[in-house]
Amino acid sequence: MNRRRRNNFGVLALVAVMLGTMTGLVAYSETLYRLFCAATGYGGTTQRAAADTAALSARPVTVRFSADVAPNLPWRFGPEQREVTVHLGQDTLVFFSAENRSDRDLTGHATFNVTPNKAGVYFKKIQCFCFTEERLGAHQRVEMPVDFFVDPALGTDPETSDVDTITLSYTFFPSARPEGAQDLARFADAAPSAEDGGKLFATNCAGCHALDRNLIGPPLGGVIGRRAGSVATYPSYSPALARSGIVWSKETLDRWLAGPQHDLPGSLMPMAISDLAARHDIIAYLASTRTGAAAPPAVAQQSRPQP
């Protein structure tokens, strides 16, 4: 009898362990699935990195941006730029904006992926609003940064060597766990960053500008305090800019970058930077430079001359 009882206890213990294991798998299946996707890039899941330690590659890739909001979350959400063209390995900063159109504070959570799915394991984000639950105040609008790079290994992997365009997509849903959410107001209150401005300069400006020499546009090192159209070695200023009498300050650069054609009719540059935070970061970066300084690496995209 004792032997039979011990056998029964053994069977019951085994069943209990199996039931406990199955219950644990069910309870944590979402977390385990997320960890699996994060480790493998399955389904276009992007990777997370503490910093960009990759060597810069000469190969360019175009990154496009897509944004959506669940029907039951009354937010307006979208990218501040449709796409950027960068080099593999280039630390890149872009912005998305979110606006809460309701009369109460709401918390959302962003899901994300990239297409083609096979590029997910090589798309690495350093900073992103999608890492945490995010609270947005009633009728508040903020601009949120995403700091990323695409691993140069994408260009040497036979499975992804043909990828020259990647689409990064986000969808915001109402948060199922709003407790402890971070406040998106932290982005609205952030001071301009010269470090972030250097990344934005590399993406948006370095195709036409260096700090220390003429490219398509004039050099921008030490531009703060300089009279517009006054670099003697640059031959292609518009008459409007050369005669403007503008002295570049943080305020005059802000107006110019927001809309050159509106700020100075007859100027040559049609490109504008509509994102306020991006403009201020770029201006902080330019304010930190001096004449003759070396610019960040140029990217493979073309724009028209800036100041």
Please check whether residues 96 and 133 belong to one and the same domain: yes
Please check whether residues 181 and 205 belong to one and the same domain: no
Please check whether residues 215 and 142 belong to one and the same domain: no
- Residue 153 pLDDT: 96
- Residue 119 pLDDT: 96
Q: What is the pTM of this model?
A: 0.74
- CATH number for the domain spanning 184: value is 2.60.370.10
Tens digits of residue pLDDT in 132-155: 999 999 999 999 999 999 999 999
- Residue 43 pLDDT: 56
Please check whether residues 112 and 126 belong to one and the same domain: yes
Identify the domain boundary among 128, 154, 188: 188
The list of the chain residues with pLDDT below 70 reads 1-43, 291-307
- Residue 296 pLDDT: 57
Tens digits of residue pLDDT in 25-60: 444 443 333 443 444 444 578 999 999 888 999 999
Phi-psi region of 227 (alpha: psi -120 to 50; beta: other; left: phi over 0): beta
- Residue 112 pLDDT: 96
Torsion of CA 159, 156, 42, 89, to 10 degrees: -150
Please check whether residues 165 and 225 belong to one and the same domain: no
- Residue 299 pLDDT: 44
* Domain span including residue 67: 42-188
Identify the domain boundary among 137, 159, 188: 188
- Residue 307 pLDDT: 43
Please check whether residues 57 and 182 belong to one and the same domain: yes
Tens digits of residue pLDDT in 179-203: 889 999 999 888 999 999 999 999 9
- Residue 295 pLDDT: 53
- Residue 207 pLDDT: 87
Please check whether residues 159 and 235 belong to one and the same domain: no
Instruction: Tally the domains of the chain.
Output: 2
Please check whether residues 183 and 56 belong to one and the same domain: yes
- Residue 106 pLDDT: 97
- Residue 258 pLDDT: 93
Please check whether residues 79 and 183 belong to one and the same domain: yes
Q: Half-sphere exposure of residue 210, counting CA atoms within 13 Å on the CB side? A: 10
- Residue 16 pLDDT: 62
Q: Are 123 and 38 in contact (CB under 8 A)?
A: no
Rounded Cα distance, 239 and 266, in Å: 8
User: Does residue 103 form part of some domain?
Assistant: yes
Please check whether residues 184 and 203 belong to one and the same domain: no
- CATH number for the domain spanning 203: value is 1.10.760.10
SS (H, E, C) the chain: CHHHHHHHHHHHHHHHHHHHHHHHHHHCHHHHHHHHHHHHCHHHCCEECCCCCCCCCCCEEEEEEEEEECCCCCEEEEECCCEEEEECCCCEEEEEEEEECCCCCEEEEEEEEEECHHHHHHEEEEECHHHCCEEECCCCEEEEEEEEEECHHHHCCCCCCCCCEEEEEEEEEECCCCCCCEECHHHHCCCCCHHHHHHHHHHHCCCCCCCCCCCCCCCCCCCCCCECCCCCCCCCCCHHHHCCCCECCHHHHHHHHHCHHHHCCCCCCCCCCCCHHHHHHHHHHHHCCCCCCCCCCCCCCCCCCCC
Residue-level length of the chain: 307
